[in-house]
Amino acid sequence: MTLYESWFKTISKNIKLAKNAGFCYGVKRAVETTIKLKKENPDKKISVLGELIHNSHVISELENSGIVTLDKLPEHGEGICIIRSHGESADVFKQVQKKGYELVDLTCFDVKKVQNRAMELAHDGFLVIILGKFEHPEVQAIRANAQEYASDIKNVYVAQTLDKLKLIEDRIKSSPKIGVVLQTTQTKEYLYEVIDYLIDKCKILNISNTICPSTTLRQEEAKKLAQNSDLMVVVGSKKSANTTHLAQLLKDITQTIHIEDENELDNYKDIIAKKDNIGVTAGASTPDNIIKEVINKLERTI
């Protein structure tokens, strides 16, 4: 019996948990490998460049076990430095090793695929358009890697929204080849919107649907659950791109609240009390124990 199946036996009939909620395989790999590295190397300093995942509870647990989160690389490094699942540029990889660290690359395999595709398009002379949040570390890494192969760094552009994409319409129309990739946690709805916009504005349009399978599955399951729910509760960090996208999608279907943990449910007591059918889902960086605590508190609230 899986963890989720055991929960279903104790959850009220009016509260339903999406089957695919919580850690995706990329995040699970990153967290488990980092913990394993610390256990196997108790005398070595273990550092992660940037937050390993976008979840403050997990980061706190890692720091309590002696794993350090680096905002930037120090002048001199020691021990092991982990590249998180969001990835980094080739230059950062070189800098980590130059500083004296032993490098461990935990970039998600799906993120690597986006980087490789963006680099191929840039190398082949395409104007590369990355659909995603400009400030997100995954997008920054994709952009930096693509720029390494572009004839001009301006030939790699990030569009968080269709309005942002429209700002370079003249460049799009004058470019012989347009290539599109997506941040792995983007939505199909945004992709379709962009395709409709670009289709009659360029001669050669190369679209690579690089949304990861886990994201697509999570979104589709949550949308089906939302269709039969009076309220959807989305659990996960406000900094998590896949979680915020999930919440945005569900708001178009039913009333939706986005919380980081069970404590935030106190802000929605009046709303929860009036709902008969509540669906629960969670972002890819939300650990099982946080989801379980949310469900337990929902049961007590109703």
CA atoms of 164 and 258, how far apart (whole Å): 26
Q: Which residues neighbour 174 within 8 Å (Cβ) at sequence distance 6 or greater?
A: none
The answer to whether 138 is a known catalytic residue is yes
Q: Considering the candidates 138, 221, 262, 293, report the single residue annotated as catalytic.
A: 138
Nearest to 272 by CA among 237, 241, 301, 240: 301
The phi and psi torsions of 157 (rounded to 5 degrees) equal: -130, 140
Q: Sign of the CA dihedral 99, 103, 109, 113?
A: positive
CA atoms of 60 and 69, how far apart (whole Å): 10
DSSP assignment of 223-274 equals: HHHHHT-SEEEEES-TT-HHHHHHHHHHHTTSEEEEESSGGGGGGGHHHHHT
Return the active site residues. 138
